[in-house]
A and B are shown apart, each in its own frame.
Chain A
Amino acid sequence: MEFQLSPEDEAFRQELRQFLREEVPPEKTGGMSSMNEGDENGGDAFAMAMRKKLAQRGWLTMGWPKEYGGQDASPMRQTIFMEEMAYWDAPGMDLMGVGIVGPTIMRVGSDAQKRQHLHAIAKGEVIWSQGFSEPGAGSDLAGLQTRADLKGDVFVVNGQKIWSSGAHRADYMYLMARTDQDVPKHKGISALLVDLKSTKQGLEIRPIINMAGMKGFNEVFFDNMEVPRENLLGELNQGWYYSMGLLESERTAFINFSAIGRSVIEGLTRLVNDPDARGIASGKRPETRAKLADATIENKVARNLALTVTWMTGKGIRPTYQASVAKVFGTEAFKRLAWSAMSIVGLYGQVERQKQYAPLMGRVNSIYYTSVGMTIAGGASEIQRNVIATRGLGLPR
């Protein structure tokens, strides 16, 4: 056992920190804590410029193979990258394109699809969105009803998606649709790569304002939208099985919860010690001490659970239930932290995204909102617990 980074990994972390100190001024942070989606104050432009800079340094797709513009970086390196970005709350990450779409195209995409998409993602030039969930198909994703009927050289798509994050500004969508109505539900689903910008007909994207008042996700309507046949990803009716592999490439992202949490804890620690910070619970109060100590300990537990997944992946051991454990614990501890943080900052916690009065650049208030969605997005806590119990512990279904 060894609970520390190798000297090379540590050097990489320092290099990253230096880069972030230079490139991301505090007022431009908010990449993780507010999800940074659809920020009207030029946040998008800054995020995309950051993404390009990350790409230029080879960091954006560091985990990819060299032939597709990556660096073959170890899962631990990727985790360090994620962790520092989230700790800094820096914009510019691309979980969808880099973590999900790219690796799936590499695995099952055609040569033409690889040529068209992989380098564009690696250069940080395109925005991807994910069209999975539907009004009637959330946790039960395989129950999706959006249909894509092959007619000649095109798929004709009809139906509706919901919660598609970032679709309002995305170039592409990774769409899951039903291509065979007559087989059991998992077996009739295909994956299509949809060019949102050049699709002129049969597509409507309506932003949904999330409860934090931000444009985060969207409803997407398809009315005889045509998708060229060559945009089918992999084989017909295999889409479900490709998407099941998705979580695997997202795995290193579990570190985000503890990373952003740690920066909030450090900020709170400064605040409660600051004799001039009025209205903030004093660090002398036993309740404050216990809350911050608890948060620190839980944060460590969450980080270790995320690192376990990274470590197993690096070793070539397939985590059966550990990813779900990291997700449930990480997101739930994050929510508890948000509650504690709000109670520590007292009346000031009400102030939203207004830098003067909102504690920690508004981050405390932000995570109070975002932490609500994290235990739902990407498989709700209940679903994760089902996975842990059945796949991990072998309990009967």
Chain B
Amino acid sequence: MDLGLSEEQEMIKTTARDFLEKECPKSLVRDMEEDDKGYSPELWKKMADQQWMGMVIPEQYGGQGFSFLDLAVLIEEHGRALVPGPFFSTAVLCGMPLAEFGTEAQKKEHLPKIANGNEIWVYAQTEPSATWEASGVELKAAAQGDGFVLNGTKLFISYAHVADYLLVAARTKDGGKPEEGITLLCVDAKAPGIAYEGLKTIASDHQSEITFKDVKVSKDSVLGEVDGGWAIIQKIGEWGATGKCAEMVGGAQLVLEMSVEYAKQRVQFGRPIGSFQAIQHHCANMVTDVDGSRYIAYEAIWRVSEGLDASKEVSMAKAWVSDAYRRICALGHQIHGGIGFTKEHDMQLYFRRAKAAELAFGDGDYHRELVAQHLGI
């Protein structure tokens, strides 16, 4: 049993924190909320120079060959700094499945470009059906000639409008169980017939509705097996859910620190509000939730990273951390009083992203039901 970070992971953490404090100030985060692209190509380039996009990509494909656990340490810092842009989707949601399930040709073609920052990838699973379950995948990929023709709609897809490639979950066969007949396709984001319509969403994460009208894709764009996509989607779900947990832990830690700091500074009735027991107990409850979230998150991350069976732990972590982060933000807001309710204050940046992260890859209720199934109830 070892609940600490390795020396190398400590390095990843401090290097990332120093880098992001300098390169990703809150002013940039705010600018990107309003920006058309929603991310800074300049910062993207610098992140690639740090070799972040290729962190878990094997060395022979231009990456660094680190583990998912190592990457999670970095993602935690992204959650703290609120790094805007398609890093998570490129490195985690697409880079990881490409490296694990891609053909030699797909890996050779894409992984080096992901690693050096030249390709942006976005994962497109959800649709107007608005569920993470297999039945939600309705977008049709009809076999035609040597490939497929796509028709349908993807919804809630962040940064799709700036992507080079979309990793699309499509239905290639009807009938049977919903899990059967789903195929993952690597689609050129600029292919004819694809249209993007931006959505304004709570985390300003530049989501789109993507419509596919007779979009042609070739057979070699299939990731994994035709009709065998669900197994990969579940794996992406594990990376996605636990990656989001790491991100939330990073954000929650900062909200805690910001609130404790404020409680020490803010004076009412002639004394710092942090000397009032009500405020102290809010802070104590926050740190309890932050620490509780950290270990349940990293236990799941560790299992995923080690290739152990992790689906129960992933659901436990995602259910817990999603709700805990919301509680932490609520207490943070309470401690800040009126100032925290302003747009100018940073609390709102975390509050809004907490909700989006909660919803990503299933919220508490969704995962609690999965936990109940794992218990065999």
Contact = CB atoms under 8 A, between A and B. Distances in A.
B368 A293 contact: yes
Contacts of B283: 388-389, 393, 395
Interface string A284-319: 001011101110111011001101101100010000
Contacts of B319: 293, 297
Interface of B: 1-6, 69, 260, 263-264, 271-272, 274-275, 277, 279-281, 283-285, 287-288, 291-293, 295-296, 298-299, 302-303, 313, 316, 319-320, 365, 368-369, 371-372, 375-377
Nearest to A301: B292
Contacts of A9: 1
Contact of B291 (A322, A382, A394): A322
B341 to A, nearest CB: 23
14 contacts: A3-B299, A9-B1, A76-B1, A273-B376, A289-B372, A290-B365, A293-B368, A293-B375, A305-B295, A311-B2, A382-B277, A392-B284, A393-B260, A395-B272
Contacts of B284: 324-325, 328, 384-386, 388-389, 392-393
Contacts of B368: 289-290, 293-294, 297
Nearest to B292: A301
A311 B69 CA distance: 19
B1 A395 contact: no
Given A305-B292, A388-B288, A395 B302 contact: no
Nearest to A3: B299
B1 A328 contact: no
A292 B320 contact: no
A76 B281 CA distance: 30
Interface in A308-362: 308, 310-311, 315, 321-322, 324-325, 328-329
Interface of A: 1-6, 9, 76, 269, 272-273, 283, 286, 288-290, 292-294, 296-298, 300-301, 304-305, 307-308, 310-311, 315, 321-322, 324-325, 328-329, 382, 384-386, 388-390, 392-397
B288 A328 contact: yes
A76 B293 CA distance: 22
Nearest to A309: B3
B281 A385 contact: yes
Contact of B281 (A4, A294, A329, A382): A382
A61 to B, nearest CB: 22
Contact of B369 (A289, A296, A321, A392): A289
Contacts of B263: 395
Nearest to B295: A304
Contacts of B288: 305, 325, 328-329, 388
